[in-house]
Amino acid sequence: MKYLSIIILALLVQSCAKSGYKTFYTSYADAKTLPDVELLQEGEEVKIYGSDNFQRDSLILRSKKYIAVGYSSFNGGYEDTRNAGTQAKLVGATVVLVSSKYTNTQTTTSTLLLPDNKTTYHSGTANANTTYSSNGSYLGSSNTNAIYNGTSTTYGTKAVPITTNQRRYDQGAMYFVKSNQKYKFGVQFSDLTPEQRNLLERNTGAQVKVVIEDSPSFYSNVLAGDFLIAVDGQLIKNTEHGVKLMGSVPSEANYSTLTVIRNGTKKDIKVQF
């Protein structure tokens, strides 16, 4: 039983040594090669925040100039979130959002082969009767008694069933690093969904997803959720086209006019640089 306990403990330690945060990590970018970012300093620890809504909380971090550099996603036994912090250090991230949600309990039965050596003990007595004669003449006899004992060992294995129950969780982490880059506009947006096109009754435009704090768009009161439809009077087709138009605004310009739809009303916003 002691031998069996040692084996089970070794298996558990081995499984815990493999981190899902590392095994199932997907990279967006190499934080250590990004320009103008704040990396961990010596002695500084990664900040780990729990989240019940990645989309909401990642948008909040992005508005504070944080850039997502990768994510982890896996299902398995619950892992200490410090493993996410360890993975963050490996990839150069300074902030991690983590989440976990119970999914099911998995029952597993496996067979463990253990040594099954059997030792048999033997003991008993032996008698020997000897008659001595010469030329047919009887000379005499002797009787000998002996006691013996010993052991014999046979070697084999036995199968021992092992049943384990494991509570499993959907677990995830998003890794961020803060950028010190200065933004000309300071907005991030995405293409319109089919539902948004029906709502707006138009196929062109993009939705503002993030307004970076302390940026020209922030102080000009562009809001997340606005639908961007034009830059300086030029209608934008989609996100890619909008980025291109913003990038073409002359560096010497003092302002740019963004046309948005907010709460169903078209609105021109002068973004001061």
pLDDT range class, residue 10, cuts 50, 70, 90: very low
User: 131 with 99, same domain?
Assistant: no
Residues 159-218: pLDDT tens digits? 888 888 999 999 999 999 999 999 999 999 999 999 999 999 999 999 999 999 999 999
User: 72 with 172, same domain?
Assistant: yes
Q: 């982890």: which residue's tokens?
A: 72
Mean pLDDT of 242-270: 96
pLDDT score for 15: 46
User: 265 with 201, same domain?
Assistant: yes
pLDDT score for 12: 47
Taking 60 as the threshold, does the pLDDT of residue 6 lie above it?
A: no
User: 54 with 152, same domain?
Assistant: no
Share of the chain above pLDDT 90, in %: 71
pTM greater than the 0.75 cutoff: no
User: 148 with 42, same domain?
Assistant: no
Mean pLDDT of 90-107: 96
Q: Look at residue 6 and tell me if it is in a domain.
A: no
User: 171 with 145, same domain?
Assistant: no
Query: What's the structural domain count of the chain?
Result: 3
User: 47 with 172, same domain?
Assistant: yes
Worst-scoring range by mean pLDDT, 43-57, 121-135, 223-237?
A: 121-135
Q: Look at residue 29 and tell me if it is in a domain.
A: yes
pLDDT score for 66: 97
User: 100 with 121, same domain?
Assistant: no
- What CATH number corresponds to the domain at position 214? 2.30.42.10
User: 173 with 62, same domain?
Assistant: yes
Q: Look at residue 4 and tell me if it is in a domain.
A: no
Q: Look at residue 199 and tell me if it is in a domain.
A: yes
pLDDT score for 209: 97
User: 207 with 259, same domain?
Assistant: yes
What is d(CA 89, CA 32) in angstroms, rounded to the nearest whole number?
Answer: 11
Q: Look at residue 8 and tell me if it is in a domain.
A: no
- Among 59-73, 104-118, 127-141, which range has the highest average pLDDT? 59-73
User: 125 with 217, same domain?
Assistant: no
Worst-scoring range by mean pLDDT, 77-81, 161-165, 264-268?
A: 161-165
Domain that holds residue 127: 113-157
